[in-house]
Structure 1
Amino acid sequence: MIIVTGGAGFIGSNIVHQLNRAGERDILVVDNLAPSPNLSGPKFLNLAGAEYADYMDKKEFRAALRSGDFEGAKVRAILHQGACSNTLEDDGRYMMDNNFTYSKELLHFALEHKIPFVYASTAAVYGASTEFKEVPANERPLNVYGYSKLVFDNYLRRLLPEVKSTVVGLRYFNVYGPREQHKGRMASVIHHFTRQLKDTGTIRMFEGSGGYDNGEQRRDFVFVKDLARINMFFGGLLPDSPRKPTRAIVNAGTGEARTFKAVAEALMQVHGPGKIEYIPFPGDLKNRYQHYTQADVAGLRAACYSAPFTTLEDGIKQTFAEEPAL
C-alpha cells in the first residue's frame, strides 16, 4: 500500500494520477472534503478517473494511526501532502495541528516501521530572504503557514542523525499545473492569469514592489508533475529510485526564477493575445509576500535526483492540454 495524504488536493491528486500511470493501484487516499470558505470548488473532482484502493477522512485516519489499526499493514511509502496551505490563515493553533502535529504523528509511525516518508515542506520558510539554500540563516517565514512548516523541518533536523530509513522533506516553490481550480485565491498566478485573460482579455498583475519594476517580480515556477515524480523517486517507487535510504530536507524548484511578465507571455502563446494591466499592491499582502524566489537545487542534486525540470513554457502547454476548459 502507498499512502498519499492530501490526496484529493492539487499536488496530492497529481501524485495519485502519476502513480496510476506507473501502474500503482494499491493506494490509500487521505483527505478532508469538508466545505471550506477558502476553496472555490470541490476537491473530489481532482480524483476523477483515478484508481485507488481506499479513501479515509483525515480525522478518521489520524484516529486509526493512534489506535494501532495500521500496525499489520504493508505500507511501501507515505507521501505526505496533507496540510493547510493557506498563506493568509492566521489561526496558529489550527495551522500547527494540521502542519506540525499531524506530520509528527505520521513521521513517528513511518520511522517505527521503516517506511519511506516523503513530505511537503515549502519555500515559504525563507520568507523575504534572497538566499534559498537550506540553512537556518536563510529561514525567516513571513506567515504562520511558513512558520508551521519550518517548525516541523527543525523537528526532523534534530532527529536525522538517528534516522535509518528514508525521510525527505521537499520545500516546494511556486507550483502550477492541472487540478488547482478548487484553490481559490491560493491557486497559482498561471490559473488566475488564465481566467482573467479568457474572461476579459486582460491580465492584471501587481505594480512594481520589493524593488522590482512592474511585472518584474520573480518566482521559481515548478510544474506539479515534476513534483509528483520527485515524491515517487524518494519514496522508492521508480526504477531509478535510490537503493539506499535518503535523509534530507531539500528544495523542490527548478533553480530558475522567471518574471510574472514571462508567465503572461507564455499564457498568451497558448490562449491568444491580450493586454497587461498593473494594479496596486494589496494591503493584506504587505509583509507577507515573496517578491523573489529561486531554489538552490544543490541539495536536491546531492540527494541523487538528476532529472531535468519542465520549462515554464512547456509546463503551461501541458497544463492546458490536460485542462482545455480552464
Structure 2
Amino acid sequence: MSDIVLVTGGGGFIGSNLLLALQSLYPAEQLITIDNFQSSDFRNLEGYRGDLILADLHEDQWRRWIPAKKVKLVFHLASLTDTTVLDPKAHLLCNVEGWRRLLDHFAQVSTRIIYASSASVYGIRPGVQKVGDPLRPANAYAFSKVLMENLANSFCSQNPDRVLVGLRYFNVYGPREAHKRKSASMAWQLAQQIRNQKRVRIFVDGHQRRDFVYIHDAVQATVAAAHAPLSPGHWRFNVGSGRSHSFLELVTFLAHTLGERAEVEFFECPYPFYQTHTEADLFETRRFLGFEPAFSLEKGLADYHQSGWLV
C-alpha cells in the first residue's frame, strides 16, 4: 500500500485546487480527501482520481479509514469560512473541534501538518500585517482561527519534534470558488454584477483595500510549506500577493478584463467587524518557504477569465 497524502476540505475552493495539483505532484501516492460537502461542490473535483470520505472532522468515524502511520502529509483546509455566520458555536464546532480531533489522530506519528489559518486573525487595523503582530479577531470565524493556532502551539509544546505550519491566507480568488456565492471573493462577486450589466455595489467609498492573492499562488505557497526545510515547531506564514488594491481598482481591472463598462453604486457597510485594509508582509514567507507570488491582480484576473470559471 502506497503512502497517503490527506487533504481535508478537498471539495472546497482552495482544497480542490490543491488536491488537483497534488494529484500531479504525487502520482505514486494515494490521495484521500475528507469533506462533509456542506460548503463544497462535486464539480470542483472533475478529473480527481483519489478517494473521498464523506464525514465531519469533529466526529470520529473517519479515523477508521485513515491509518495515521501511512499518512505522508496532511493538508487541513476544511473549515466553515462564511464570516457572516455570527454563531460562535458553528465556527467552534467545525473549525476548532475538527482541528482538535485531527491533531489527536496524528499525535503519535511524525507527519507534517499544514493547516489553513486566515488573515482575519489580525483584525481591524491599518497597514501591513506581519507575523508576530497582535491578534485581534473581530468575528467568530477569526476567533476560531486564533483558537486553532493556540491548539497548534499547545500540540507542538507537547510534541517538540513535530512540524506544524499555519498559513494565514489573505483574500484568495480564482477558479472553483463560484459555489461559495456570497462568501466568494469580491473578484467573483463583482464580475457577476458587471456581466449582468448591473450597477456594481461596493461599500462607501470604495477605498477599502485588500491583498488579493490568486489561487495558483496560494497553492504554490501551500505546497512549499510541505517541503521547506523547517525546524520542529509551530510555524505561521502569510500567504498573499504582498500588495493591496482598493475595491475601485478591482472594479476597473475587472471591467477591462471582461471588456465591459461598470457603473458603481455605493452603500453603507452593515458589518462592524469588516476589515478595511489587508496587506501581507511576505518577508518570512519568502525567507523560509521560498515563495514569490507569480500573479499580479491584473494577471490573475486575466488567467481567471481565460480559465472559463469567471462566470
TM-score over 0.5 for the pair = yes
In the other structure, the counterpart of 1:197 is 194
In the other structure, the counterpart of 1:211 is none
Q: What per-residue deviation string (whole Å, max 9, x for no partner) do you get for residues 59-118 of structure 1? A: 37942455x553465111110000101101122122111111111221233342111100
Q: Determine which of 307, 312, 315 is the counterpart of 2:292.
A: 307
Where does 1:209-228 land on structure 2 (aligned, <5 Å)? 215-228=206-219
**1:248–1:303 contact (8 Å) kept in structure 2:** no
Structure 1 unaligned blocks of 5 or more:
209-214
Cα deviation, residue 245, structure 1? 5.2
In the other structure, the counterpart of 2:181 is 184
CA distance in 1, matches of 2:178, 2:263: 22
Where does 1:1-326 land on structure 2 (aligned, <5 Å)? 1-24=4-27, 26-34=30-38, 43-52=41-50, 54-59=51-56, 62-64=59-61, 69-71=65-67, 73-130=69-126, 131-135=128-132, 137=134, 139-161=135-157, 162-200=159-197, 202-208=199-205, 215-236=206-227, 241-242=228-229, 247-283=234-270, 285=271, 287-323=272-308, 326=311
Displacement over 6 Å in runs of 4+: none
Q: What per-residue deviation string (whole Å, max 9, x for no partner) do you get for residues 156-201 of structure 1? A: 2244354323210001111100001110211101101111111015
Counterparts in 2 of 1:80 and 1:324: CA distance versus 1, 3 Å: closer
CA distance in 2, matches of 1:309, 1:247: 26
Cα deviation, residue 250, structure 1? 1.5
Identity %: 29
CA distance in 1, matches of 2:277, 2:58: 37
Secondary structure at 2:280's aligned position in 1? coil
Cα deviation, residue 244, structure 1? 5.6
**1:163–1:247 contact (8 Å) kept in structure 2:** no
Aligned residues: 305
CA distance in 2, matches of 1:155, 1:246: 13
CA distance in 2, matches of 1:248, 1:194: 35
Secondary structure at 1:314's aligned position in 2? helix
**2:171–2:212 contact (8 Å) kept in structure 1:** yes
Q: CA RMSD in A?
A: 2.2
Counterparts in 2 of 1:298 and 1:157: CA distance versus 1, 3 Å: farther
Secondary structure at 1:90's aligned position in 2? coil
Cα deviation, residue 258, structure 1? 1.0
